[in-house]
Amino acid sequence: MATPGQSGIERRLAAILAANIAGYSPLMGADETGTARALREHRAAIDPIVASHGGRIVKTTGDGEGLRKAGLPE
């Protein structure tokens, strides 16, 4: 049972990052193959860095990526 001033809900801090590529649609229009390849290469470089810091890729959509890092100190 929660004592006065406590809600019984565990409080956790997290860092959340949402990123996308500026000008992605025109880049795809100009060179779809090259743009898709560059995006894959960038994700291949970024994803292990995120994981090495305890982060997690939550969602990827087209040129966007959502990242979450839980357990930050208060």
Q: Per residue of the chain (74 residues), give pLDDT as tens.
A: 455 566 678 777 888 888 888 999 999 999 999 999 999 999 999 889 989 988 888 888 888 888 888 876 55
Q: What is the pTM of this model?
A: 0.66
User: Distances from the Cα of 50 to the Cαs of 22, 25, 40, 74, in angstroms?
Assistant: 21, 25, 15, 21
| Cα four-point dihedral sign 54, 46, 28, 26 | positive
Q: Which of 68, 55, 65 is nearest to 16 (CA)?
A: 68
Helix-strand-coil split of the chain, %, nearest 5:
40, 25, 35
